[in-house]
A and B are shown apart, each in its own frame.
Chain A
């Protein structure tokens, strides 16, 4: 647990405060993102936790122990640290870079070797990279090595300053997903700094939005931040489409699906029409005997046909699964001519449908 209690920082020779009277608590296993415009003191705040910068006033404690009462070198060895430019040592191989903190704290070589192997696998890096120098790696590989290095001695607390900012958006997205997977397993206590609100929304358990001068505007879960911004500043910073952003935080599994009209290819035309009526719709999903989705037919298609299968069964433009976000469900709704998202399981078996009303209900407050 990390506790900041009325922490302020004023740099010598500067008029204003870089951080003003900031109180914040990061619980064990929680990923807190500090976000805000440049000059909001987010990096300064992070760097005060491992004493790279010392507060002017206030108290910072890691696991209940005041950082100012600890030896800064020992303190830092117990806290993982990743920066934007990664800061890998160019004259050390990937393996040696990862081994930095374990060597400092005196692990034996065998344990270090095993740990390097474990981390290389955890981050899906090619084992052949262990003996390479940082200059021989791609940007994405370097960032992963940087995070792996910070985790090497298994510190309970991690500080990360824009660790994914230096790579292109596609690589960044992949690194974020991988990092979330790893964090879900390791449950580290993390303070993560970014200027990118979308990254914050995607990664954070809680977000602290800071204004210029290190003034805390709001400290809340991403969903709450989007639903109930505490100030105009937060509203502006969160940016356009807060509703869509909230939908991206929720998954199809979070809401109930409707049964929807279904019909088998062997059914008669009247049966199809009878299936549609209770839902007030004039189309039905066509399922094979195993329950897999074949497509859909409307009333006009089946009229005059002996069986549904004789009609022209049209395919849906998009499907969603229970793991899909509500934002992609919304996309499926507006993409399908039937105006619903069809929910299927991993084997493409039919689970039900989501209507625009059902999704919209989640973001109307």
Chain B
């Protein structure tokens, strides 16, 4: 290996690095976005029809346990080596987390609040959108937070299929016995995960002013 931290290489590859960073973000947001679009209605359906929830958890649980590399490879016969292959795998991983948090969030809404809302004449739909979903938001957003951070990590693995964002540098560096790209890829993807985590925390506080989170200082 050469010098572990080659500034000249970084300077020469700035636009590459930026491009892969953006790709990494795009792959992540696409996966979590699609995952949420699926998980949110499924979660609401499971909340209202409890019998559906165990099988849904079972299926998403199995998807979640497949090792990521194996998943990407297993999908090759059906989907080839493509961005679709990568996204199908990434989306599958988000489902368990997202559906579980949507259901848990809705379940956490106090029966008394719902009873009072029903007694005042809110319809079923109004109770869902004006009471249950807003009050479930903290838990739902927490789910999105975990899904984002997990997916940012998984995208680096999908570099093996050629759609890996910052993972490309890690793979490339190892291939060439050159540490700098490995460092750049690892540090940037880790930083991305941290930034996403903080961003979602801020979003959660902003969405739930009633919890007094904005005024409380973190003391722990």
Contacts and interface: CB of A to CB of B under 8 A. Distances in A.
A136 B216 CA distance: 13
B118 A89 contact: no
B119 interface: yes
Contact of A91 (B116, B121, B126, B208): B208
Contacts of A52: 115, 118-119
Candidate in B121, B126, B131 with the most chain A CB atoms within 10 angstroms: B121
B9 interface: no
A150 to B, nearest CB: 8
Nearest to A50: B119
B207 to A, nearest CB: 10
Given A87-B115, A90-B113, A91-B134, A100 B120 contact: yes
Contacts of B114: 87
Contact of B135 (A83, A90, A104, A136): A90
Nearest to B116: A87
Contacts of A87: 110, 112-117, 119
B116, B210, B212 — most chain A CB neighbours (10 Å): B116
Interface in B89-118: 110, 112-118
Contact of A104 (B118, B120, B134, B212): B120
A74 B122 CA distance: 9
Interface string B163-205: 0000000000000000000000000000000000000000000
B215 to A, nearest CB: 10
B123 interface: yes
A347 B187 CA distance: 84
B107 to A, nearest CB: 16
B121 A90 contact: no
Contacts of B211: 135
A291 B180 CA distance: 103
Q: How large is the interface on B (under 10, 10 to 19, 20 to 34, 35 or more residues)?
A: 20 to 34
Interface residues of A, number: 30
Contacts of A159: 119
A75 B131 CA distance: 20
Interface string A322-343: 0000000000000000000000
A83 B110 CA distance: 13
Contact of B210 (A75, A81, A90): A90
Contacts of B131: 89
A61 to B, nearest CB: 18
Interface in B22-77: none
Contact of A83 (B116, B209, B212): B116
Contacts, number: 73
A215 B115 CA distance: 26
| Chain B residues touching A, majority SS | helix
A148 B117 CA distance: 15
Q: In the complex, which of the residues A74, A84, A100, A150 has the most CB atoms of chain B within 10 Å of its own CB atom?
A: A100
A313 B119 CA distance: 62
A50 B115 CA distance: 12
B112 A104 contact: no
B120 A91 contact: no
A87 B115 CA distance: 7
Contacts of B116: 81, 83, 86-89, 146
B121 A104 contact: yes
A76 B120 contact: yes
A105 to B, nearest CB: 8
Contacts of B210: 90-92, 133-135
Contacts of A73: 121-123
A158 to B, nearest CB: 11
Contacts of A90: 110, 113, 135, 210
A101 interface: yes
Given A87-B113, A90-B210, A91-B135, A74 B121 contact: yes
Which of A89, A92, A100, A159 has most chain B Cβ within 10 Å? A89
Interface in A250-285: none
A77 interface: yes
Contacts of B118: 52, 76
A303 interface: no
Contacts of A355: none
Given A133-B210, A135-B210, A135-B212, A89 B113 contact: yes
Given A52-B119, A100-B120, 13 more contacts: A73-B121, A85-B112, A87-B113, A87-B114, A88-B113, A89-B113, A89-B116, A91-B135, A91-B210, A100-B117, A104-B126, A134-B210, A150-B120
24 contacts: A50-B119, A52-B118, A73-B121, A76-B119, A77-B121, A81-B116, A81-B120, A86-B112, A87-B113, A87-B115, A87-B116, A88-B116, A89-B131, A90-B210, A91-B134, A91-B135, A91-B210, A92-B210, A104-B121, A104-B126, A133-B210, A146-B116, A149-B120, A159-B119
